[in-house]
Amino acid sequence: MAPRKRIIESDWQDLRLKDRIGPDLRVLFVGINPGVRSALTGHHFAGYSNRFWKLLRDSKLTPIPLTYEDDGRLPEWGLGITNLIARPSPGINDLRPADYVEGWKVLNRKIRRYRPQAVALVGVTLYRAIFPLLHEAPVAGERNVIGAHTITIHDSRVFVLPNPSGRNANFTYPEMLQAYVRLRKWIESHPPDKIRLQR
């Protein structure tokens, strides 16, 4: 049996994921930044213990089961995916404050261009990083943050979801699933207005 190749930083540090975004978005999912495995595979939420794709199916946000290799199909259902920070890293502790500020400038332009019905921030950490940039005070408490917020970004409603990473011990899978179901029900009860679709 051949020895496993050791992955070194030079293998992934310059890799960037392609956004999966199309017209008439219902939801634009936003992660903090790609992990190393996502960078190496070229697909979003590719970590071995990441539950994002299972949550999409179990919540009925997608009608069929998908894996990270199917991320290019998300626009078929009015879903898109991007990251606040394009640079991959082993964890968020490797990110610099300037990464968040520069990443927000790029994300802000994407939201203004595509005008999704909802911007789903995947993770409480991401929510806490973005809200000061919007001159808003973050809501206190992990549980209180999850769900729809009154703030909008370019007319897109902000929705906060638990981070689906296997490292997230703050939420059980049923709690995560409940949040994704709430997002689906919110989207279904707020059909896009005709004015925005004509832009």
Distance CA 43, CA 71 (A): 7
Burial 174-197 (b: 16+ CB within 10 A, else e): eebbbbbebbbebbeeeebeeeee
- Asked if residue 129 belongs to a domain, the reply is yes
CATH of the domain at 183: 3.40.470.10
- Asked if residue 58 belongs to a domain, the reply is yes
pLDDT of 73: 96
Place of tokens 């009925």: 60
- Asked if residue 11 belongs to a domain, the reply is no
- Asked if residue 51 belongs to a domain, the reply is yes
- Asked if residue 53 belongs to a domain, the reply is yes
Residues in the chain: 199
- Asked if residue 66 belongs to a domain, the reply is yes
| Domains of the chain: total | 1
pLDDT of 144: 78
- Asked if residue 2 belongs to a domain, the reply is no
pLDDT tens figures, 150-187:
888 999 999 999 999 877 668 899 999 999 999 999 99
- Asked if residue 5 belongs to a domain, the reply is no
pLDDT tens figures, 95-138:
888 888 899 999 999 999 999 999 999 999 888 888 887 766 66
Print the domain residue range for 144: 17-197
**What pTM was computed for the model?**
0.86
CA 190 to chain centre: 20
